[in-house]
A and B are shown apart, each in its own frame.
Chain A
Amino acid sequence: MKAAVIRFPGSNCDFDMLYALQDFGIDAEILSADNNDLNDFDAVFLPGGFAYGDYLRTGAIAKFSPIMAAVIQAANDGKLVVGVCNGFQILTEAGLLPGQLQVNKVPGFICEDVELLIENPNTAFTNAYETESIMIPIAHGEGNYYADDATLAQLEDNHQIVFRYAQNPNGSAHDIAGIMNERGNVFGMMPHPERAVDAVTGNVDGQPFFKSILSEIIAGD
């Protein structure tokens, strides 16, 4: 099992994601967004940051980078595709997840630990959690999830909402912090589980996120 962490120009959480994956024994490496082939990889991670300076809109330029055709192919092949923060924004811009991340309801960059409710514990990203709520840091200026009413109803009906904010920090519709596609292999969230895996940071609530992914990948092998 091998995982790729995609580095876009302007990614800044690529090493955090790499270290978190390696902490759980996952064979991971950083791959430039200039590549166009993910055939050697079983899972793909789009890290946080400001890809292409977030020019135009967050993720708007990144969605046309060479790697994205391969990311879409990986998603269609049923491989795990995970986007955190800027990675989530890129996945929505690319159409792999519905909706859009807008400027926070009260404009400004929010950097704090927030409580997340595990809305769907039966996913490839949450199956190792034994609690119903966790603390995970957020760090974003554009985390305000928007989708039209029909899309939101579909997300609710299909249990695609994986994490919700206990106290909505950014105006997200339906308190959404993380969603997956209908098939359950493409996932995006604004909070940063990769920043909550090491005890020295004072918070290990991100560990079961990676344990869940690991068990899913092993089960898929």
Chain B
Amino acid sequence: MYLAKIYVTYKPSILDPQGEVIKSALTRLDYTGISQVSQGKYFEVKLDARDVEAATAEVKSFTDSLLINQNTETYRFDLSIVNEDEATL
């Protein structure tokens, strides 16, 4: 069984209003050295696949079609082999 850890972020050109609000809150809390905050999404998906190539293809397919909106978001992911009952994170 494979575990995909998928990290979704905004494309560089996209304004991230939530990141900006978090940044201003951090500045209010006197963390004066904060230059940028961006907020993304993190997914863990366990899947069966016959080999790592098939698992990679499937992760790309469902991430492109559902997990991200390609207008504004991009992603990277790590793939590892795990046992079904193995705790993640």
Contacts and interface: CB of A to CB of B under 8 A. Distances in A.
A188 to B, nearest CB: 14
Contacts of B69: 57, 60, 93, 100
Interface string B2-40: 000000000000110110010000000000000000000
A64 B17 CA distance: 27
A91 B18 CA distance: 24
A85 interface: no
B88 interface: no
A146 interface: yes
Contacts of A134: none
Q: How large is the interface on B (under 10, 10 to 19, 20 to 34, 35 or more residues)?
A: 10 to 19
Contact of A99 (B15, B18, B71): B71
A86 interface: no
Interface string A100-121: 1011111100000000000000
Contacts of A147: 71
Main secondary structure of the interface of A (DSSP, over half): loop
Interface in A128-184: 144, 146-148, 171
Nearest to B69: A100
Contact of A100 (B66, B67, B72): B72
A106 B18 CA distance: 8
A171 B17 contact: yes
B17 A107 contact: yes
A219 interface: no
A147 B69 CA distance: 12
A183 B32 CA distance: 52
B17 A144 contact: yes
B72 A146 contact: yes
B13 to A, nearest CB: 8
A105 B17 CA distance: 6
Nearest to B65: A64
Given A56-B66, A171-B15, A146 B21 contact: no
Interface of B: 14-15, 17-18, 21, 66-67, 69, 71-72
